[in-house]
Each structure stands twice: as C-alpha cells, then as structure tokens.
Amino acid sequence: MQTTKMKQDVKPIDCSHYINGNYVPSKNGQTFENINPATEEVLGVVAQGGKQEVDQAVTAARKALKGEWGDMPIRQRSAIVRKIGDLILERKSELATLETLDTGKPLWLSNKIDIERAAYNFHFFADYMTSVGTESYQQDDIAIHYAVRRPTGVVGLINPWNLPLLLMTWKLAPALAAGNAVVMKPSEETPMTATILAEICTEAGVPDGVVNMVHGFGETGAAITSHEQVDAIAFTGETITGSAIMQSAAPTLKKLSFELGGKNPNIIFADADLDDVIETTMKSSFINQGEVCLCGSRIYVERSIYDQFLERFVEKTKALKVGDPFDETTNVGALVSKEHYQKVLSYLDIAKEEGGTFLTGGKASDMEKGFFVEPTIITDLGRESRCVREEIFGPVVTVVPFDTEEEVLEQVNDTHYGLSASLWTSDIKRATRLSAQIEAGMVWVNTWFLRDLRTPFGGMKHSGIGREGGMHSFDFYSELTNVTVKL
C-alpha cells in the first residue's frame, strides 16, 4: 500500500486542549500517541487531560455564560453559528484529510458525509434558532401563562470515534444556538478535527470560554460527567459507557442525553423492489466499514426471495474494494484501532464456533499494515447467537430467512437495543402496521439513512435516552421558566 503522505499534503496535527480561547498542554505535560489505523504510523501526540484541565475548562465556560455571550442578541449569535459552518466548508479538504487519517475511513466519504454534514449542522441550527418560540396560554380572564427559554448552562459534549466531526457538531451547533457554553471531549482515537473545530469557533466570533475542549480517555470524560458545575451531558457512545455516565452524573443530578449502541434490523419482504434493496443494503451494511450506529447488521429476508437476495448481495459484496482510504476507488477502509479490529475479528471466531456459514469475508484483509477486515456475510446462525445479538460495529452482517410478518417482528424486537430499522415492502398497509410495532426510535421504509434534521433522532430501550434534532435538541439545550401573570 502506498503511504498516505504520497497522496495528500495536509500534515497531521498534534492536539492540545482548548481552554478559554487558547490551545494549552496538560499541566503535567502528559500526552499519548495518535495512531493512523490504515498504516499503524504515529500521527502525532495528544494532550492527556485530567481533573485539573476539566476544572479549568468548566470554570472558563461558567464565566463565559455571563457577559458578552449571555447578552448577545439572537441575530448576532445566529450569524456566528452560521459562520462556523462556513469556515468548516472553507477548510473542507484539510478537515476531510485529517478525519480520514484519524479514522481510516475513505477520503471520499469524509468529504461527502462527515464534513458536509458537519457544516450543515451549523447552517441548519443558525436558521432554526431564529424561529424557535415558546408556549403561551390565556386562562379565561384569570391569567396569562408564558414560558421563557434560557440556556441549560455548561454542557459536557462527549463523543465517539466513528463520525468524529459530524457527531460533535450535531451537539455543538444546537448547544451554541441555544446560548450554552460547553466542554467537549472528543474520542481519544480521533482527536484531530475537533481540535481544529475549536479554533474555527473562535475565528467565527464565539467569545473565549464558550467552547472548550479537553482531550483524554474515559477518566477525562468521567471528570466532566461528575463535575458539580456541569449542568448537562450530551453523550454518544457505547451503551455500557452510558450506564457508567448515568451513575457518575447521578450525585449532581445532571440532565442527560444519550445516543447509544444499536443492533439494527433490515426487514426485506418479497414485494420490495429488489434492485433498490440490494443497492441500499450494501450501504447500510458496509458504509464507513460498518462503523455507523445506524448500520443494519441483522438482515431478515422473506424466504421466497432469500436465495435470490443472497446471490446478488454476496456478488456485490465480493466486488467491494478494501484498502487505502486515500484511493478514491476504495469502498471499505481501515477499522479505527487495533483494539476495535481485534474485537471485530473475535466475533468472526465466535461465529465459526456458533456454526455460522461465511458466504464471503470472515477474515482480516491481506493488507501489509493497518486494521482492515473483509466485508463479511454470515448465515445459519440461531437467534441466540452472540453475532446476532451483540453490536459488532464492523463490516459484518448476519442474514436470516423468515416466513411470516409475526415471526419476523418477534425476532426484530427480541433485543435490548432499539435504535433504528429499515423496512422494505411495497405494501403501504404492512409498512405502517409494522413501523408502529417495531421497537426502534427510527424506522425507514424503503430507504435508509435519509435524514431531515428537524425530525427526532435517537433510540429507545438500551439505545438511548431522549432525542436529538430540531426542537428536541433545542429543548435539551434550554430550560423553560413558566411565568404566570394574574389578570
């Protein structure tokens, strides 16, 4: 494989914390290495923050809530939020390159999804914030009641590595739109684009101390979630981490928003348009190396088209190109880290032990370096299989035939996850009937990953608490005071 250096001129960056408008190292000078998952080379070093840095960041944020930011007219704040989106687009090529170096995902994908959407998150909320109102009721001739909206306060934003900039901006944009100050903690695996985002915010006109960032591992996150001066935590990551955060935030009764893991079903009926099904299932299975919380990793296919579906799905999957993320013909890049790569490979061993049949893939790819796994399709696994029940978060799907609507619904809901589902049928009555019964926060009918940022985004059961998007985000990032005026 050619090295990435031969193909791009953007240099990886060392990552410092960002506190009160300045890049700062850790007080004790502690750092850790940032590794390129496609080459295993060291990209640079990252400051490792602890309680002290979190405390400084929270103090700066608390102070910034008052003064210029707190007093800013909404149109001015909206212009700043919009400008952040503009500046992200201006630095698109640099940000996309850094995202690909950090995550191992194909560069075309970083450009097309991650950076474009990151900018749009700001543009969307810059518009949205100018039209948000509150409730008001006239109670006969007795009283008028109206609600006053104010920022939640200092919010901790803690994020995973799979869509680093996109997911950070999905929280930061509404948090700023609603007037909060934040302490961000990007994933230790993918710190570079968030580091640039911090300086972009300052350049756009965000006053010092409103946006702070502390790098580090889980302990750094825990210092944020347990800090008594932090009012709320918006977290995206693993279900088990969400549970730990809930415990750590309990003594200070923080407001929580959780976007957690998923084990999402694709349900394909024989009356669906099979061309569409195949094209979309390729994406929902393998885009971003299968490292998207919304990926459909349990595929249920009506028995009468099971063989036909598999034949076409396997053929297309075999044709996917795994390799250099900077090669524009690459479909599937590297998994994010050695640890995650080993986790995904361990599930392939489990599938073998459980008697699964591999129709393609089933092993690491034969790249000399890097954490690459071949796109994998497994059949013949029972519903108790760990590969069917647990989140693998890699390019691995299981396919299971079904005979009846009742049977498939029962299997689909037999999980403690409840994030999303993709349902394929041309029968509109069946689509509406099943959509209402599938235990998931989002159901796509004859599509997948189609988003409108006004709609509620999030999971039920162990896949999340609360919803993001449009008014749902705004409600999380603001508090309401009801005022009653006696007439």
Which residues bind to ligand NAD, rule: CB under 6 A? 158-162, 167, 185, 187-188, 217-218, 221-222, 225, 236-238, 241, 244-245, 259-262, 293, 391, 393, 419, 459, 464
Contact, 237 vs 213, CB < 8 A?
A: no
Cα 121 off chain centre by: 13
Return the C-alpha torsion angle 146, 457, 233, 134, nearest 10: -10
Contact, 394 vs 347, CB < 8 A?
A: yes
Nearer to ligand NAD, 112 or 321 (CB): 112
Nearer to ligand NAD, 218 or 401 (CB): 218
Active site annotation includes 293: yes
CB-based burial label for 327 (10 Å; 0-12, 13-18, 19+): middle
**Residue, CB closest to ligand NAD:** 221
Helix (H) or strand (E) holding 118: helix 116-128
| φ, ψ (nearest 5 deg) of residue 295 | -55, 145
Distance, CA of 453 to CA of 411 (rounded, Å) = 30
Report residue 52 as tokens.
Answer: 């002290």
Report residue 285 as tokens.
Answer: 């299975």
Smallest separation, CB 36 to ligand NAD (Å): 17
Smallest separation, CB 46 to ligand NAD (Å): 12
Return the C-alpha torsion angle 441, 225, 164, 213, nearest 10: 150
Nearer to ligand NAD, 299 or 359 (CB): 299
Report residue 328 as tokens.
Answer: 């524009």
Nearer to ligand NAD, 181 or 344 (CB): 344
Which residue in the list 94, 99, 188, 259 is annotated as catalytic? 259
Active site annotation includes 94: no
Which residue in the list 53, 94, 189, 293 is annotated as catalytic? 293
Smallest separation, CB 235 to ligand NAD (Å): 7
Nearer to ligand NAD, 236 or 280 (CB): 236
What DSSP state is assigned to residue 267? E
Active site residues: 259, 293
